[in-house]
Amino acid sequence: MSEPVFTFRLATPDDAEVLQAIYAPYVETTVTFEYVAPTVEEFRQRIIDRVSVYPYIVCEEDGVPVGYAYASRLYERAAYAWAVELSVYFAPNHRGRGMGRKIYDKMLSLLKLQGVRTVHGKVTFPNPASDKLHNAMGFKLMATLENVGFKNGEWRSINHWEKQIGDFSCAPEPITPITELDPAKVQEILNA
């Protein structure tokens, strides 16, 4: 049997069904703080709301989506415009194969190109795979927010990870939306 081929591309609203199917089972767990899984239509709208500004990357194995990662703004207020939060989900039998690291690597390169300065990850405790992913990618554990959520009958804490990816010596230009980056450069990062 030949080795599987993993590829990465930007998401489109047409990915809603397959990505919702990857995400929905995790809503039963404490990995996400959502109580009710979004419908495919809600998921489609979430994709539409994100893809015009931030990277939304799909990982495919032999042409079939097996995981995804996206960035969203960390907080709404104006001064936070250079800070994003990441979300990442792989289907259960595609975890632990190095793809989390790969998708994060591409994500960080794209965000850097956009002019984003800090990248954040919020990881429910315990989630050793996600904590290890953030640690391995050079994120720093900034805080544990204790009992910040209630899910599946218990109070839950989260680890807040941060990675600085930009220059802090001067005032920033507005970030460049993903749709306005050089498409050849974006493709080069996705193919790397």
Ligand X SMILES: CC(C)(COP(=O)(O)OP(=O)(O)OC[C@H]1O[C@@H](n2cnc3c(N)ncnc32)[C@H](O)[C@@H]1OP(=O)(O)O)[C@@H](O)C(=O)NCCC(=O)NCCS
Contact 26, 89 (CB under 8 A): yes
Q: Closer CB to ligand X, residue 105 or residue 115?
A: 105
Tokens of 88: 């990442």
Q: Which helix (H) or strand (E) holds 16?
A: helix 16-23
Q: How far is the CB of 191 from ligand X (least distance, A)?
A: 18
Q: How far is the CB of 52 from ligand X (least distance, A)?
A: 24
Binding track, positions 142-171, relative to ligand X; x by CB under 6 A: ------------------------------
Of 3-11, 48-56, 98-106, 141-149, the window that binds ligand X (rule: CB under 6 A) is 98-106
Strand order in 118-124's β-sheet? Answer: 6-10, 56-61, 64-73, 83-90, 118-124, 154-164, 140-151
* By CB under 6 A, residue 21 contacts ligand X: no
Find the helix packing angle between 99-114 and 183-191, rounded to 10°.
160
Q: Which helix (H) or strand (E) holds 108?
A: helix 99-114
Residue in the block written with tokens 């809503």: 27
Contact 95, 103 (CB under 8 A): no
Of 44-52, 120-128, 138-146, 170-178, the window that binds ligand X (rule: CB under 6 A) is 120-128
Residue in the block written with tokens 């097996």: 66
Q: Closer CB to ligand X, residue 37 or residue 181?
A: 37
* By CB under 6 A, residue 139 contacts ligand X: no
* By CB under 6 A, residue 128 contacts ligand X: yes
* By CB under 6 A, residue 185 contacts ligand X: no
Q: Closer CB to ligand X, residue 118 or residue 176?
A: 118
Q: Closer CB to ligand X, residue 96 or residue 183?
A: 96
CA distance to 18, 52, 77, per residue, from 13 (Å): 11, 11, 27
* By CB under 6 A, residue 65 contacts ligand X: no
Contact residues: ligand X, CB under 6 A = 26, 31, 88-90, 95-101, 123, 127-130, 132-133, 136
